[in-house]
């Protein structure tokens, strides 16, 4: 196992960015064309948006420009994400940020002038052109929070600066932070962010796993103060804008674009913290018993219940799992899966400087792109299914909706991705009666699907809420305070079942989601919806699948409550969440029973 440079990886394991721009010249020309279009929009419409005709005209003109800007930012971001150490990619991304800031400032007049119109004029456009209904609805929401046009222009001009903390976080994490090898029983092992999170954290050998955790945490600790200051800066930017725009709290500011109120946000965190914790403590104790550990530590929570059984698979073998496991979604969806492999939509390579974790980028007008660092572990099937769930969602939504309507609320965004994990699990369980295989599948559902989305991200959300409460009160955070908050949340959830290793409190340093607003809690929200819909599909078959496909095609034309309702789930009540927590408990019951059966 070694960490290679980007130029050393196999071409077939990388994604094909030439589908966005074939050459650098083509990319540069696209930037110049976008700048000229922005100039034209300014010349034609600035100071002249006074009627429904001119208002509709500027909305349509910006729609076309928006479509041209998307591949530009996608190309720059994806090139940087596969190698944060690449100087050319760094400079390209910085340039795009500057261009976006300049165009945003130049065209900030659009929203200002539209909101100066009588509301009836905007509603007239909304009625006449349904494709613009969502844009106008969101625009009108901003009316109470709109600043003076010159203030809006200044804020837009500073957009690149305001986004700098996220870039600084990634630079610290993926460029400056170099991990030395660690030694166990006289043997050296390489260490990096991706190697730790993709391999060592799941390593069956206790000494290797815990030593890797200590070495990883030691390096994180060296950068905790810089990372904390970066995060505090990001929080202050959000708080300042929230106050400037007159929101009563930073929570209201961040939740408004999600189209849900604070009760849904708090419910997700409070119920899981109190009612899921007992189930997950049982799971931790089961891991401890099966592995014969004297004590269960935080460094042991990601290990497999049956590591000797887990197979390794190739990238090509993963394709068959995707096709078979997601076949229920229909022929068109299956063709999309084939295209994702055949046309290199997926970046599988592991290399130095590559972003951690996995994600899907779905640029409007183009095909989706999936980033993953392939380890050949069988659980990667669930990770890949998850990201292809995002890909399938936007593949359908982008084809059906205009650019204003394609993306749904962040609250719903993780439902299609976690749905694919549930479908994959159901497929694997349906096709085997072997007790050991069933235990492996169920334990993977717990350790990958539910642990990742209902525990890891939910604990991030509980911690994040405490952070925002501090910021909302006008206070600040530093490394010591963030460490205390994170450790407190972990202690509350795990109780005395899990010993928190020195370094567990630094887990807040590992997650980029904190720079994306109130994102972490949405994983459990999405999985709550997908768990219930997956059960519908199991019981009702094609009818439930058809409803789900319809929901995916709706994109952002409906609120999360409306989308969930169309799929057969009522998230205005707490019942779906309680049912999902009970379902997780039943899975752990099965694990305990299957383990007892196998040990006889």
pLDDT in tens, 331-377: 999 999 999 999 999 999 999 999 888 999 999 999 999 999 998 98
pLDDT above 90 (res 3): no
The verdict on 290 and 182 lying in the same domain is: no
* Cβ-contact 358, 370 below 8 angstroms: yes
Q: Give the integer Cα–Cα distance in Å for 477 and 479.
A: 7
Tokens of residue 68, six digits: 């041209």
Q: Dump pLDDT digits (tens) for 453-474.
A: 889 999 999 999 999 999 999 9
Residue located via tokens 């300014």: 42
Residue 190 belongs to a domain with what CATH number? 1.10.287
* Band of pLDDT at residue 596, cut at 50, 70 and 90: very high
Residue 141 belongs to a domain with what CATH number? 1.20.140.70
316 phi, psi to nearest 5 deg:
-65, -35
Residue 442 belongs to a domain with what CATH number? 1.10.1370.20
Q: Give the integer Cα–Cα distance in Å for 213 and 209.
A: 6
> Residue 177: its pLDDT value, please?
93
pLDDT above 70 (res 1): no
The burial of 571, by beta-carbon neighbours within 10 Å (0-12 exposed, 13-18 middle, 19 or more buried), is given as buried
Q: Is residue 339 part of a domain?
A: no
Instruction: Label residues 403-414 b or e (16+ Cβ within 10 Å = b).
Output: bbbbbbbbbbbb
> What Rg do the C-alpha atoms of the chain give, in angstroms?
24
Nearest to 514 by CA among 466, 565, 480, 547: 466
Domain that holds residue 58: 6-162
Q: Dump pLDDT digits (tens) for 136-167.
A: 999 999 999 999 999 999 999 999 899 999 99
The verdict on 540 and 573 lying in the same domain is: yes
* Cβ-contact 276, 454 below 8 angstroms: yes
The burial of 127, by beta-carbon neighbours within 10 Å (0-12 exposed, 13-18 middle, 19 or more buried), is given as exposed
Q: Is residue 358 part of a domain?
A: no
How many other CB atoms sit within 10 Å of the CB of residue 401? 21
Average pLDDT of the chain to the nearest whole number:
94
Helical H runs in 7-51? 24-45
The verdict on 428 and 564 lying in the same domain is: yes
480 phi, psi to nearest 5 deg:
-60, -45
Beta bridge partners of 377: 312
Q: Dump pLDDT digits (tens) for 398-419.
A: 999 999 999 999 999 999 999 9
List the Cα angle 125/129/133 in 5-degree steps.
75
The verdict on 499 and 588 lying in the same domain is: yes
> Residue 569: its pLDDT value, please?
95
Q: Dump pLDDT digits (tens) for 176-201.
A: 999 999 999 999 999 998 899 988 99
347 phi, psi to nearest 5 deg:
-100, 105
List the Cα angle 341/343/349 in 5-degree steps.
60
The verdict on 145 and 187 lying in the same domain is: no
* Band of pLDDT at residue 448, cut at 50, 70 and 90: confident
Mean pLDDT calculated for residue range 111-133: 94
Q: How many domains is the chain partitioned into structurally? A: 3
Rounded (10°) angle between helices 542-554 and 380-400: 60
> Residue 309: its pLDDT value, please?
82
Q: Give the integer Cα–Cα distance in Å for 239 and 467.
A: 12
Q: Dump pLDDT digits (tens) for 280-312.
A: 999 999 999 999 999 999 999 999 998 888 778
Q: Is residue 59 part of a domain?
A: yes
> Residue 433: its pLDDT value, please?
82
Q: Give the integer Cα–Cα distance in Å for 577 and 566.
A: 17
Nearest to 543 by CA among 564, 566, 573: 566
* Cβ-contact 556, 489 below 8 angstroms: no
* Cβ-contact 406, 397 below 8 angstroms: yes
Q: Is residue 37 part of a domain?
A: yes
Residues 6+ apart with CB under 8 A from 70: 363, 364, 365, 366, 403
Q: Dump pLDDT digits (tens) for 44-54.
A: 999 999 999 99
> Residue 507: its pLDDT value, please?
96
Q: Dump pLDDT digits (tens) for 498-533.
A: 999 999 999 999 989 999 999 999 999 999 999 999
> Residue 378: its pLDDT value, please?
83
The verdict on 93 and 209 lying in the same domain is: no
> Residue 449: its pLDDT value, please?
85
* Cβ-contact 331, 356 below 8 angstroms: no
């Amino acid at each position: 196992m070694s960490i290679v440079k980007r130029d050393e990886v196999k071409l077939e394991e990388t994604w094909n960015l030439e589908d966005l721009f074939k050459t650098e010249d083509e990319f540069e020309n696209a930037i110049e064309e976008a700048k000229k279009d922005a100039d034209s929009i300014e010349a034609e419409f600035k100071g002249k948006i006074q009627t429904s005709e001119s208002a509709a005209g500027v909305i349509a003109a910006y729609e076309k420009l928006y479509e041209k800007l998307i591949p530009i930012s996608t190309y720059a971001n994806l090139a940087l994400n596969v190698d944060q150490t690449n100087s050319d990619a760094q400079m390209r991304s910085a340039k795009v940020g500057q261009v976006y800031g300049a165009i945003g400032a130049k065209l900030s007049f659009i929203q200002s002038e539209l909101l100066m119109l009588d509301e009836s004029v905007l509603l007239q456009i909304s009625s006449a052109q349904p494709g613009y209904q969502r844009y106008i609805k969101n625009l009108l929401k901003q009316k109470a929070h709109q600043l003076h046009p010159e203030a809006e222009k200044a804020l837009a001009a500073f957009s690149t600066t305001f986004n700098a903390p996220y870039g600084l976080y990634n630079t610290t994490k993926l460029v400056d932070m170099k991990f030395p090898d660690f030694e166990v029983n006289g043997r050296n092992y390489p260490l990096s962010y991706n190697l730790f999170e993709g391999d060592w954290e799941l390593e069956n050998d206790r000494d290797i796993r815990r030593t890797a955790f200590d070495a990883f945490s030691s390096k994180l600790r060296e950068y905790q103060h810089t990372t904390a200051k970066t995060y505090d800066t990001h929080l202050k930017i959000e708080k300042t804008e929230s106050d400037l725009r007159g929101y009563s709290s930073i929570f209201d500011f961040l939740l408004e674009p999600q189209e849900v109120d604070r009760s849904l946000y708090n419910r997700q965190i409070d119920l899981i913290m109190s009612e899921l914790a007992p189930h997950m403590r049982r799971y931790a104790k089961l891991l401890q018993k099966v592995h014969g550990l004297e004590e269960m530590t935080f460094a042991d929570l990601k290990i497999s219940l049956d590591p000797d059984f887990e197979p390794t698979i190739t990238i090509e073998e993963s394709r068959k799992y995707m096709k078979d496991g997601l076949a229920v979604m229909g022929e068109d969806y299956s063709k999309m899966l084939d295209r994702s492999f055949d046309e290199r939509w997926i970046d599988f390579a592991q290399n130095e400087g590559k972003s951690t974790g996995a994600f899907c980028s779905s640029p409007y007008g183009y095909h989706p792109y999936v980033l993953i660092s392939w380890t050949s572990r069988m659980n990667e099937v669930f990770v890949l299914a998850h990201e292809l769930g995002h890909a399938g969602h936007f593949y359908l939504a982008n084809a059906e909706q205009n650019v204003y309507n394609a993306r749904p609320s962040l609250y719903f965004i993780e439902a299609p991705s976690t749905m694919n994990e549930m479908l994959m699990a159901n497929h694997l369980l349906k096709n085997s009666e072997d007790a050991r295989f069933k235990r492996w599948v169920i334990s993977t559902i717990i350790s990958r699907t539910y642990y990742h989305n209902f525990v890891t991200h939910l604990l991030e959300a509980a911690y994040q809420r405490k952070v925002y409460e501090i910021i909302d009160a006008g206070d600040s955070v530093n490394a010591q305070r963030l460490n205390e908050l994170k450790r407190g949340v972990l202690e509350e959830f795990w109780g005395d079942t899990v010993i928190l290793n020195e370094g567990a409190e630094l887990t807040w340093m590992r997650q980029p989601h904190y720079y994306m607003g109130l994102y972490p809690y949405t994983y459990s929200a999405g999985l709550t919806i997908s768990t219930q819909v997956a059960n519908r599909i199991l019981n009702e078959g094609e009818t439930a699948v058809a409803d789900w496909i319809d929901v995916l095609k709706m994109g952002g034309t409906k609120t999360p409550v409306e989308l969930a309702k169309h799929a057969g789930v009522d998230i205005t009540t707490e019942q779906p969440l309680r049912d999902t927590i009970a379902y997780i408990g039943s899975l752990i019951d099965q694990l305990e029973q299957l383990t007892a059966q196998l040990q006889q």
